[in-house]
Structure 1
Amino acid sequence: MTRQMHRLAGAALLAAAGLFAAGTANAADLTLKASHQFPGGKGDVRDEMVQMIARDVAKANVGLDIKVYPGASLVKATEQWNAMLKGQIDITSFPLDYASGQHPQFGATLMPGLVKNHDHAKRINSSPFMQDIKKIINDAGVVVLADAWLAGAFGSKKNCILEPNDAKGLKVRSAGATFAEMWAGAGASIVSIPSNEVYNALQTGVADATDTSSGSFVSFRLYEQVSCLTAPGDNALWFMYEPVLMSKRSFDKLNDAQKKAIMEASKKAEDYFAAESKKLDDNLVEAFKKANVKVVTMTEEQAAKWREVANNSSYRTFSEKVPNGKALIVKALQVR
């Protein structure tokens, strides 16, 4: 090989090395923003799901970094969906019903009495009902990374809430329109705020009572504000779908190795949450009893009275006013 050929070969190797280094740097600089409303670093399992995904993706060493912004520190609680669609954030742990203003069908994922317990929620995930919901999510430009259903409870500063008559005259913060309609059907007035604002609403008298997830009751320390808790027990009325979501536009920008890493990490986070979800109810009862809050659970007969109110309010309105609403209710009720 001539001296000139050596020089050319050396130059080519240096150029190739430079391109490789630049490509590696660019890959390492790919950072996704994950935002949610839940407290960070305090044991909230929804935050932990997102943190797990971020940690496992980093361990996969595929040139992808996920920066997590908990506690609505980057985007307000109810604006996560739009922020994701606009490209302001890439990933969120999100109560899907919060986007029911844009997609009213999402209200079915926080429908009184539609999901009865944690095992039922797992069966719902693979049902035609959820296939319809996920098609709407996907068509909107969003990918479901991990499923998550949370049970919830009722908390009151005044009387215990066991039957519909117990809600008459109360100012109740409701997590979504379907529950709000049931509360109104029972004679309550409605306070519409996200879960991270409930503590102050109870403290200042804006609200007398609330429904929210077991996780939020604890992580937002609502045991400091209520005197009676109606825990999920065996006859839960409150279940809410709060998946980890990702902008489809952001997902499609990933290479195959990055997509594989994020989906594997998300499956692990989903399995973690499924194992922890029932524990949230147990932790709820323990935390509220420790704070000297009275804890009660509904009987089957009491829960049936609430479902009758819901059937004549939430279910009826949803079936009449939401496109494909009646079919969604029917499909959900068919899951045994």
Structure 2
Amino acid sequence: MKLKHAALAICASLTLSGFAQAAGEIVIKFSHVVAPNTPKGKAAEYFKKLAEQRTHGKVKVQVYPNSQLYKDKEELEALQLGAVQMLAPSLAKFGPLGVKEFEVFDLPYVFDNYDEVNKVMHGPIGKQLLTKLESKGIKGLAYWDNGFKNFSANKPIKTPADLKGMKIRIQSSKVLEEEMRSLGALPQVMAFSEVYQALQTGVVDGTELEASNLYTSKAYEVQKNLTLTQHGFLGYALIVNKKFWDGLPADIRKELDGAVADASVYANKIAKEENDKAVAAIKASGKTQVYMPTPQEREAFKKAMLPVHQKMASRIGPDLLKEIYKETGFNPAK
């Protein structure tokens, strides 16, 4: 571990000096943990294209997908140290960093659709949350959608009771841990890059993933059943090392701001479409049975998980919860 920290520190000093320049170029290393053909992967490549075009080659964006550089738990530290300049981690990652308010996005059934998500993320609430990252040496640039999460397993999941005693892989999030416990499941925190093997070997029994990541990681190949519970949203924040970003020449930063804005429009446009395609592809594979819960079954999942809101209110902030309920029309009593 000490060697890893030392290596990161050396890389950081080399990176931040001269804006990570190589042969006169400004190099932005953009690391992420999912496949290139996911919504995030495609948006990262689109940002690269726009950034390089609009700066006329003065900026070189190097995209590293599939945890090629860092796993989930490592990438934020790498960004803070300057070993990479840009990430798009899931919002759940900021809770362990100390910005617990972001865990509001992990709450079950707090959003019913993309419109409600975007009303919060792209409105005053979302903008205010991004500013809280600055004390951690991170600048939040934008939010990128992915999709709504579903349960997968090697047995049918039609009721909350079906999850009892099952080991379910989750991201590191106190909210998600409590969510699994509310269903009688056993939460297993694990890096995304380790999920396929863990499912294949039985280290975990199932997942809660959006269809795009389940499909592109091929995790569906080792899961016989997928239930479209749509019980929680997974989105990303496009972030940069603040010292690096603030130190860029003003004209370069202006062009990159424009590239970020347009790449974000693209990312949010394709997210639902890519997840819908992934569900269709999983069905067509014949390897996984896809089940759509009835309204009554969905209501049973919602009822089982709603107590998580009250239990996590003090951690997330009751005032923030009230603001989001007001924006979305969510009623925690129902």
Tell me the TM-score range normalised by the shorter chain. Answer: 0.7 to 0.9
2:147–2:235 CA contact under 8 A, matched in 1:
no
- 1:210 alignment counterpart: 207
Q: Distance in 1 between matches of 2:91 and 2:245?
A: 19
1:62-211 superposed matches below 5 A: 63-102=58-97, 103-175=99-171, 176-211=173-208
What is the DSSP-based 3-state SS (H/G/I as helix, E as strand, rest coil) of the residue aligned with 1:238?
A: strand
Are 2:326 and 1:334 equivalent residues in the alignment? yes
Q: Which one of 279, 288, 295 corresponds to residue 300 of structure 1?
A: 295
Q: Distance in 2 between matches of 1:126 and 1:145?
A: 11
Q: Secondary structure at the match of 1:152?
A: strand
Letter of the 2:189 partner, please give it.
Answer: S
1:33 pairs with one of 10, 13, 29: 29
Shift of 1:46: 0.7
- Residues 93 and 132 (structure 1), Cα distance of their counterparts in 2 relative to 1, 3 Å cut: same
Deviation at 1:54, TM superposition (A): 1.5
- 2:4 alignment partner in structure 1: none
How many residue pairs match? The answer is 304
The aligned counterpart of 1:263 is: 257
Question: Structure 2: which amino acid aligns with 1:165?
Answer: A
d(CA) in 2 for partners of 1:26 and 1:217?
Answer: 37
What do residues 66-89 of structure 1 show as CA deviations (whole Å, max 9, x unaligned)? Answer: 211211111222221121111111
1:158 and 1:74, CA in 2 relative to 1: closer, same or farther beyond 3 A? closer
Residue of structure 2 equivalent to 1:316: 310
- 111-120 vs 127-136, which deviates more? 127-136
Q: Aligned in 2, Cα 1:280/1:242: closer, same or farther, shift over 3 Å?
A: same
Secondary structure of the residue aligned to 1:112 is coil
Deviates more, 1:298-307 or 1:119-128: 298-307
Q: CA deviation digits over 1:210-269, x for unaligned, max 9? A: 00122211110122011111225xxx2120221221111111111122111111111111
Pairwise CA distance, 1:202: 0.7
Q: Secondary structure at the match of 2:93?
A: helix
Distance change in 2, residues 1:130/1:301 (3 Å): farther
The correspondence for 2:242, drawn from 223, 248, 257, is 248
After superposing the two structures, state which structure 1 stretch, 122-131 or 185-194, moved more.
122-131
CA spacing shift, 1:299–1:128, aligned 2, 3 Å: farther
Q: CA deviation at 1:26?
A: 7.8
Distance 1:155 1:254 in 2: 43
CA contact (8 A) 1:199 1:220 kept: yes
Question: Displacement of 1:62 after TM fit?
Answer: 6.1
DSSP-derived class of the 1:100 partner: helix
Query: Alpha carbon RMSD of aligned pairs, Å?
Result: 2.0
What's the secondary structure of 1:162's corresponding residue? coil
Report if aligned partners of 2:170, 2:177 keep a CA contact under 8 Å in 1. yes
CA contact (8 A) 1:173 1:192 kept: yes
Counterpart code for 1:158: N
Is residue 287 of structure 1 aligned with residue 288 of structure 2?
Answer: no
Q: CA contact under 8 A between 2:108 and 2:231: conserved in structure 1?
A: yes
Contact 1:217–1:223 at 8 Å: present in 2 too? yes
Confirm or deny: 8 A CA contact 1:199 1:222 kept in the other structure.
yes
Query: What secondary structure sits across from 1:148 in the alignment?
Result: strand
Change (3 A) 1:148 1:300: farther
1:27 deviation in Å? 8.3
Moved more, 84-93 or 27-36: 27-36
CA distance in 2, matches of 1:76, 1:142: 18
Counterpart of 1:216 in structure 2: which amino acid? N
Mapped to 2, the partners of 1:131 and 1:146 lie a distance apart of: 9
Aligned-residue sequence identity (percent) comes to 21
Structure label with greater radius of gyration? 1
Contact 2:227/2:292, CA 8 A, preserved across alignment: yes
Q: Could you tell me which amino acid in structure 2 is paired with residue 301 of structure 1?
A: Q
1-structure distance, mates of 2:272, 2:141 = 21
- What TM-score, normalized by structure 1, do the two folds share? 0.84
Residue 121 of structure 1, CA deviation:
1.6
2:233 alignment partner, one of 223, 232, 239: 239
CA contact (8 A) 2:179 2:305 kept: yes
- The one-letter amino acid paired with 1:53 is F
Alpha-carbon contact 1:182-1:310 (below 8 Å) kept: yes
Provide the residue aligned with 1:21 in structure 2.
Answer: none
